[in-house]
Amino acid sequence: MAIKPLPNEKELLLEIANGDGIAFAELFRAYHGPLIKYIYTMLESVDICEEMVQDVFLKVWENRAILPKLDKFTAYLFILTRNYTISAIRRMVKDKKHSQLYAEEVLNLNESEEIFNVDQEYQNILLKAIAELPPSQQRVLQLRQQGLKSRQIAGEMGISIESVKKYQQWATKSIAKFLKLHTAITISVILSMN
């Protein structure tokens, strides 16, 4: 990422170190666009890029006392941005892995529940959990069950890929919460019958 330093950068950094919000806003406006472009090359999500640029500049503001001591602010900004981007990618991969594992577990119940002889009860609870979801989340799950990818679901529903991912994430969390509550109740009822 090659960012050209501002001609008055040293003065701006000194003013920011002294708490000048106007100087900080000027610095933000100057580097906002290039940082968005850089992050977008890795994440391809404008919403996430915006959030990350804000996080980076929050960190710059929090550490403003060191700004006048920096030889190259653009190098410091690049390192901050790179580190935030790498962390975000790791979080997204981890979240996606957890979501996929859970979705596989939830949506492929037919094979695993026979051991406890509560397969039908668990599926009924799952169906109730899905029935309580908003229609858009239900539709995403239905299309995902049919094997469609996020891009195909987005086209089918007329929404963005990010919305598809959010709906799926919200649905998974809601189902997990519902299942946790209701399966705990079911298990305690079964145990009390013994």
Looking at residue 95, what is its pLDDT? Answer: 67
Specify the domain boundaries for CATH 1.10.1740.10 within the chain.
Answer: 9-93
- Average pLDDT score over the chain: 79
**Looking at the chain, which runs of residues are DSSP E strands?**
none
Judge if pTM exceeds 0.85. Answer: no
**In 108-160, which ranges are continuous DSSP H helix?**
119-131, 135-145, 150-157
* Rounded Cα gap, residues 100 and 112, in angstroms: 17
Q: Where in the chain is the domain with CATH 1.10.10.10?
A: 108-193
- Whether 25 shows a pLDDT value over 50: the answer reads yes
CATH number of 9-93: 1.10.1740.10
* H/E stretch holding 118: none
108-193: what CATH class?
Answer: mainly alpha
95: which residues sit within 8 A by CB, 6+ positions away? 169
Residue 24 banded pLDDT, cuts 50, 70, 90: very high
At 58, which helix (H) or strand (E)? helix 46-62
- What is the longest distance spanned by two Cα atoms in the chain? 79
Residue 109 has pLDDT above 70, yes or no: no
The whole-number pLDDT of residue 83 equals: 85
Per-residue pLDDT reduced to its tens digit, 27-38: 999 999 998 888
Instruction: Report the first-to-last Cα separation within the chain, whole angstroms.
Output: 66
